[in-house]
A and B are shown apart, each in its own frame.
Chain A
């Protein structure tokens, strides 16, 4: 049944995903298994296929919607059972920048991989990132920028996090068209991610989860 669930998710059939999650719950399957072997397993395949250009953004978006629909049903049980997420990530597009398609995709892929995502939206001030990360006890801050002119805001976030003594406690990952591994090194960010799938790999590596 969990295979069927992950297949339905891959084709973006939200109705089927919801009804299969409900069935799995009724059959007393472990909520953690439903999440990992059903939803996350499906989304991982979606991510891999997107990475290898077998499928494109529309397919990912549809699958993500199905994933979210399934999570709505499953989430209360996960909370009740005290099953923790694999990590908590605060994401947003930096101040002055209103481009959020890439950032949204990163959020989708992170959620799809089982991370808890706090999305601060676009045009987010450095202070807001750092405060939200502390408040939510996040392990990672993810910064996005499309404009070359807003990239420098990323450095401000890194600087502020350092000032607050968060170095090592909260890792900062960056991404977006004008950014690069060199830029990440230059500003002292912990990692550069070239796309949403890569962001998941980075976050997993940072938190030491397989």
Chain B
């Protein structure tokens, strides 16, 4: 298998997996339970989910480590198990994909606000990301995905730390934007242009957006990014905003609907397409179909 960045540079559009949380909740993850605790209590679920996404045609599979930084794990009193939690997540996905697909370590926000807006010291945050990312020295990965960021300062710390620990591993960094009458901004006020400049300067290879409120907005966000950079982009959209139906959560965007919309993404410079909240192996399989030449 050619290295990830090489495939992207040759013009290939790679497919990432879909939601992890959605899949875990369907498999018994309880309300208020730490999603990453599954890595130690039921790692077979990670293999099951990875298998489904691999079969759906994903080229990149993410680890169940979105909240795997010590700062985040501390909310559940699991910070002392950071290393095991991250290593097991990588091992489980690797066991399934072997060399058939790429494994990417998912790193989500710390859930803390940096000073002066919050009470967290930048060095404390850097140390938290460092501890999580150090797991890749024990269990190697093919990519690092820093995602759902809203604060560029935090995202920068995460990317810089990743770059320091893994000088040669592709780093993807994506932020979450709201659509406002004045354009797209993160809740912390970061524009797509600021994100592009900041994330690339920090050392990211691939940048873009994830989560959000559906594929239509994501298409616009990708176009905005495309205006300010030639760097490869990654887009992982939610299947729309969830709606409550009969006590169950329902994501409105069906696999075929989303896949059809994804056709527009490569022309904006998107080189990795995946799914976020509410997307399933069916969404990934549908997108795979549209990415296959001739469809």
- Is chain B a partner of chain A in the same complex? yes
Residues of A within 8 A of B (CB): 52-59, 61-62, 65, 95-99, 101, 123, 147-153, 178, 180, 182-183, 186
Q: Contacts A62-B116, A178-B244, A180-B244; is A57 near B32 (CB within 8 Å)?
A: no
Beyond the given pairs A153-B31, A180-B243, 4 more chain A to chain B contacts, judged by CB atoms under 8 angstroms and listed by A's residue number, are A95-B32, A96-B32, A150-B31, A186-B244
Which residues of B are found within 8 Å of A150, using beta-carbon distances? Answer: 31-32
Q: Contacts A98-B75, A152-B247; is A61 near B113 (CB within 8 Å)?
A: yes
Report the Cα distance A153→B16, complex, angstroms. 34
Residues of B within 8 A of A (CB): 25, 29-32, 75-76, 111, 113, 116-118, 178, 180-182, 185-189, 242-244, 247, 249
B interface, over-half SS: loop
Report the Cα distance A148→B243, complex, angstroms. 10
Which residues of B are found within 8 Å of A180, using beta-carbon distances? Answer: 243-244
Which residues of A are found within 8 Å of B25, using beta-carbon distances? Answer: 148-149
How far apart are B169's CB and chain A's nearest CB, in angstroms? 30
**Do A56 and B185 touch across chains, with their CB atoms under 8 A apart?**
yes
Of chain B, the residue at the smallest CB distance from A60 is B117
A interface, over-half SS: loop
Of chain A, the residue at the smallest CB distance from B248 is A148
How far apart are B186's CB and chain A's nearest CB, in angstroms? 8
Which residues of B are found within 8 Å of A97, using beta-carbon distances? Answer: 31-32
Which residues of B are found within 8 Å of A57, using beta-carbon distances? Answer: 117, 187-189
Which residues of A are found within 8 Å of B185, using beta-carbon distances? Answer: 53, 56
**Do A149 and B30 touch across chains, with their CB atoms under 8 A apart?**
yes
Which residues of B are found within 8 Å of A99, using beta-carbon distances? Answer: 111
**Do A58 and B188 touch across chains, with their CB atoms under 8 A apart?**
yes
Which residues of B are found within 8 Å of A151, using beta-carbon distances? Answer: 244
Residue in A52, A55, A58, A149 whose CB lies within 8 Å of B117: A58
